[in-house]
Amino acid sequence: MPINRAAWRNVHFYDASTGGTLGGFYQKGSLTEATLIWILGNIVLIVEGPWTIRHRNTGRKITPSSNPVVIGDYDIYSEGLIQISDEAWFARLISHATSGREDTFRNGVRARDRKCVISGKVNDGAAWDVWAGFEAAHVFPLQYESLWTQYDYGRWITNMDSGSSRINSIQNGLLMSENFHTQFNQYLFSINPDDGYKIISFMPNREGIDGRILDPICRDLNNHDRVSDDVLRWHFRQCVLANIRGAGEPVFETDFPCGTDMMATLRTEPYGKERFEMELETRLKLAGQGEGRAH
C-alpha cells in the first residue's frame, strides 16, 4: 500500500480563520523561511489578498530571511480566501532504458559526473568502466516525454540541436547512487538551484544529504553539458507538490518480490492508472527492442 508522507511531518500550517489544515513538511534544517514563503505564495496556496504566516507558539511573524524554518505549527492569516492549489503532480517510475539514445545519455552522464553528485561518493570502479551502484537519473522523467514535447521543455536544453525532443540530453541527467535514484524519483528529496543548489530532504534519513550542496562537477558553467537549472526547478516544484501541499502525495512501493502481480497492484493504487499505463508502455518498448535485436 502507498505510504502517507504526512506521517513524518514536523512542520504544519493552518488557515487561521478556519483552523483547517493547509499542509506541512519534514524539516531537517535546510529549508529557510524565505524559501517557505516563496513556496507557499507561488506553488502551494492561492490566497486572495495580502497574507502573513506566524509561528503559533511564539506568535512570531515569518519573514523572507535565511533563517531555517523552526519546527512546529504555523497559522496563515489573510483577509481573503485561502485555497490549496490544484496544480498537477506527476507520479513517476524508475527511468528504464528504452532506446539506444539512452546509452548515450547514460555514458555521457557518467563521463561528466564520475561520482554520486548527491553524496559526493566517488566511483572507484570508473577506471575499469565498472558502475555498479551508480545510476544515471533523468531529472525530468522519460515517461512524460509527451508532456515535455507539449510544453516545449526542450527549450531548457542548450547542448543539442532542435531536431530532437532533447529529453535524453545529458543536461537532463545526474549521476547518483542507486538508493538516491529511487528516492529522487519518489520526490523524497530535491535540489533548489535558486538557493545555492542546496539539497532539501523531505523525509528523515541518516545519509546526511539534507543541506548538502549539489556537487559542482555536474553544474560547471564552463561545461556546455552542465545540468539544466530549469529541469532542476521542475523537479523541485514537483517535490514541493508531493510533500508540502495538503495531505501530501503517496510514496509508492518499488520493490516487488518474485511472484508479485505488479500490474494488479498498480491498478488499485492512487495514480495507479497513470503508473499502470507508463509501466505497460515501457514494457512494450522493451519488448519491441528485443524483437528488433532478434531479427
Q: Measure the CA–CA gap between 237 and 294, rounded to whole angstroms.
A: 42
Q: Does the residue 53 lie in any domain?
A: yes
Q: Does the residue 248 lie in any domain?
A: no
Q: Are residues 136 and 7 in the same domain?
A: no
If you count them, how many residues does the chain have? Answer: 295
Whole-model pTM: value is 0.86
Q: Does the residue 253 lie in any domain?
A: no
Q: Are residues 107 and 221 in the same domain?
A: yes
Q: Are residues 117 and 221 in the same domain?
A: yes
pLDDT of amino acid 293: 46
User: Percentages helix, strand, coil for the chain, rounded to the nearest 5?
Assistant: 35, 20, 45
Q: Are residues 28 and 68 in the same domain?
A: yes
Q: Does the residue 274 lie in any domain?
A: yes
Pick the closest to residue 26 from 68, 83, 85, 89 (CA basis).
68
Q: Does the residue 267 lie in any domain?
A: yes
DSSP symbol at 42: I
Q: Does the residue 95 lie in any domain?
A: no
Q: Are residues 187 and 211 in the same domain?
A: yes
Residue 164 has pLDDT above 80, yes or no: no
Q: Are residues 27 and 121 in the same domain?
A: no
Give residue-wise pLDDT tens across range 178-221.
999 999 999 999 999 999 999 999 999 889 999 999 999 999 99
Give residue-wise pLDDT tens across range 26-67.
999 999 999 999 999 999 999 999 999 999 999 999 999 999
Q: Does the residue 153 lie in any domain?
A: yes
Count of structural domains, the chain: 3
Mean residue pLDDT of the chain comes to: 87
| H or E, element range at 84 | strand 82-84
Q: Are residues 126 and 183 in the same domain?
A: yes
Cell numbers for 38:
516563496
What is the average per-residue pLDDT within 14-29?
Answer: 97
pLDDT of amino acid 61: 97
Full residue range of the structural domain in which residue 280 is found: 262-287
Q: Are residues 106 and 63 in the same domain?
A: no
